Amino acid sequence: MLAPGFGQARQKRLEAGRRLRETDPDLVEDCGPLTLGISFAPPGGTPGAEFVNKHGSTQRYSDPAEQSILGGDIDAKNTLDRNYLFLAERAGAEIRTMCEVDRVERDEDGCHTLTYLQHEPRTGWTAFRQRWLTWRPGPHGVERTIRARHVVVSCGAIGSTELLLRNRDVHRTLPALSPRLGQRYTTNGDCMTLIVPFRGLLVCWFAFFALIACLLAGQWWAAAVAAVLYYAGLWTSERAVEPDLGTTNSDFIRFRGRTGQTQGAYIESGRYPRPAKFLVAAAISALTGRFRAGEYRWLTALGRAVRDLVPPFGALARTYPIPLLSMGRDDAVGRLRLAGGRVTIDYPFAANRDFYRYVDRLGRGVARAAGARWLPNLPFLLLHRAEVPHNQGGVPMGEDRDGGVVDHAGRVFGHENLMVLDGSILPVSPGPNPALTILAISERATRVALRQLATEGRIAASE
């Protein structure tokens, strides 16, 4: 469903998108709200209320008051355990959690033996040691095996590539895997910058520093005048853009690419919890041992009171940055390889230099349209480190074993009844968030495999 129109940050971004589309229609293809995998209350419904979805699973409607803390209750998200996995369990499937597959071996009778570790939930000292004392980790789990004629690998771009590399090069149980395994890794051009809605606050800041100076000098009347000027500047400036109100990725602007191609780049806005509220909520959660977003609504009211009454928190709140989440059809193509038993990414960021310059230019345009200041991604500029939420590739599809690891339906070349269905099989960056692309490819591949299984009694790649 479409996200409801709450959140000043979202509203500013929607207005900026409309302005850009009007002023530069050859560059901006589309803009507006995004369809999200979150259940919002319908007209007449109660936010936060429990309901049963069309599959029969229990969920809750999203509550904007909960979203303003740390993301709201996860039961509002249409996650796999509320649809696909829920239906699978009702049809008789068994889901084993806390399991990590290490070895996939095809037996002489055509079945596969999967060796996996059954991890146990860790608490107390064991959990602390596992998380922080990585040089002295605890036991990895209990080794178990299971046999299956048909195997579908869906561990994500990093996990699926690592599992297959380990079985081809270390265990050597899947020797016929393509030499293309580990190649065509892409980041979907993910890049984050910031815009700061810093407008109408010069009087506020001047008055605040004057207030401090007058108080230190004992000039009480002058301090009173400075305080009046501070609150007058606060009242006349733009109201605070709350970075934790609303849903992240709930709006978008779609741009043409550098050469004019369609779906060349996207910019969406992000959200994050305000530091003070986050620290208080995290401390309460740590002490009580549970997190319930609805129980922390009083923090929002307290934070607003402090912001409006105590200098300079009101001015600071009006300068909270808004993340711009950029992505698109980038140029760099990396490689995944095993190093010390774990996957390592070799990625040529330099090859994306022109693309990053392009999305930075687009970000500046969004900032101007929103009446804000644009800030670059300093960690990337200084450290060449980037957060990548859309890992793709590593098990790329191709027309044959020499060109890819799987075919168009995710069937592995050289290994019957073995499929890979996740972002790892995407050979190029699609441009937008890839979740729906992955879902569409997986559903189509499943239909192809079921038809072949019904007619041939096997699942085999087409060459």
pLDDT of residue 450: 96
Question: Residue holding tokens 């806005």?
Answer: 269
Q: What is the full DSSP assignment across 109-159?
A: TS-EEEEEEE-----HHHHHHHHH-TTS-----EEEEEEESSEEE-SHHHH
- The CA distance from 206 to 229, in Å, is 9
Residue of 69, 2, 272 lying closest to 14 (CA atoms):
2
Task: Give the three-class secondary structure for 428.
Answer: coil
Do 375 and 196 contact (CB within 8 A), yes or no?
A: yes
Boundaries of every domain in the chain: 8-80+189-199+238-383, 98-185+391-456
User: Dihedral (C-alpha) 20, 24, 29, 30: value to the nearest 10 degrees?
Assistant: 20
Pairing assessment for the beta strands 322-328 and 265-269 based on DSSP bridges: antiparallel
pLDDT of residue 125: 65
- The CA distance from 80 to 430, in Å, is 22
| Domain 98-185+391-456: CATH superfamily, name plus number | FAD/NAD(P)-binding domain (3.50.50.60)
Per-residue pLDDT of the chain (463 residues), as tens digits, is 444 445 666 777 888 889 999 999 999 999 988 888 889 899 888 988 999 999 999 999 988 777 666 656 778 889 999 999 999 999 999 999 889 999 999 988 889 999 999 987 766 666 666 666 666 555 567 899 999 999 999 999 999 999 999 999 999 999 999 999 999 999 999 999 998 876 667 888 899 999 999 999 999 999 999 999 999 988 888 777 778 777 788 889 999 999 888 889 999 988 888 888 888 887 887 777 776 666 677 777 888 888 888 898 888 888 888 899 999 999 999 999 998 888 999 999 889 999 999 999 999 999 999 888 899 988 888 887 888 889 999 999 999 999 999 999 999 999 999 999 999 999 998 889 999 999 999 999 999 999 999 999 999 998 7
pLDDT of residue 67: 65
pLDDT of residue 289: 73
Maximal C-alpha separation, the chain: 92
Angle at 197 between CA 196 and CA 201, to 5 degrees: 115
pTM value?
0.85
Residue 157: exposure state from Cβ atoms within 10 A (0-12, 13-18, ≥19): buried
